[in-house]
Amino acid sequence: MDTTRNPARLTARRVGVLMLSAFLLYGIGSMLATSAGATATAATAGDASLPLIAGAVMMLLNSAAVIAIGVLMLPILRPRTPVIAVGYLTTRIFEGVVLAIGVISLLTLSATAVAGNFLAYNVAMAGLGIGSLFFCVALFRSRLVPRFLAVWGFVGYASFALGCILELLGFAGAGLVSTVPGGLFELFFAVWLIAKGFAPAAITAPPAPVALRTFASQS
């Protein structure tokens, strides 16, 4: 299919690629930066500088990628659910900014650097999980993708948000376990968007009436 004649198809591919890229960037970057930051001090910063900086750059690129996802999805969602479209963009900006704050914490090489990044990560992911529940409602209502994906995403993000909140409350390991359904959804969703894109019928459908433009009225 010629994506130059189908901008929605091109957007879907870009969102899918960004989701996969974000997954790899943060995963690899976090391993590099946190391992280097955990062992480094101001006196040994030179030895740890290369993996720490490389990891930090990858994590910051992840922040840019997740914000770009929200920007790209805005024109897709806005004709159908304007409030949710703006809310999803806000969610992705919140995620990207808070994760970037965690990266800055790692670069300080202070005694609380890794703990600060851990806090930022869980706050960002809790926000992403909660905000993305509305995103999944929009996907379900609009039929942009098969409804089983929207339901899977809703369950996955709800689990993700709950796990990160429990982690913040001191339940160690809850956040890691809760990432499985949400993480698998984002990977599958990304591949789906690259391979299949958004449903053509949903893209060409007329905009939703004003009465259906908020999550509350849709409920």
Is a pLDDT exceeding 90 seen at residue 133? yes
How many other CB atoms are found less than 10 A from the CB of residue 177? 13
Domain of residue 142: give its range: 3-39+46-204
Q: What is the pLDDT of residue 214?
A: 43
Q: Is 215 contained in some domain?
A: no
Confidence of residue 175 (pLDDT cuts 50, 70, 90): confident
Is a pLDDT exceeding 60 seen at residue 62? yes
Query: Which residue is it, tokens 């949400």?
Result: 182
Which range (42-46, 134-138, 145-149) has the least confidence?
Answer: 42-46
Is a pLDDT exceeding 80 seen at residue 218? no
Q: Is 14 contained in some domain?
A: yes
Q: Is 123 contained in some domain?
A: yes
Is a pLDDT exceeding 70 seen at residue 150? yes
What is the tens place of the pLDDT at every residue in 6-56? 889 999 999 999 999 999 999 999 998 887 765 655 445 555 578 888 999
Q: Is 216 contained in some domain?
A: no
Q: Is 210 contained in some domain?
A: no
What is the tens place of the pLDDT at every residue in 92-118? 999 999 999 999 988 887 778 888 999
Number of domains in the chain: 1
Is a pLDDT exceeding 60 seen at residue 5? yes
Q: Is 164 contained in some domain?
A: yes
Taking the C-alpha atoms of residue 109 and residue 63, their distance in angstroms, rounded to an integer, is 21
Q: Is 218 contained in some domain?
A: no
Q: What is the pLDDT of residue 146?
A: 96
Q: Is 214 contained in some domain?
A: no
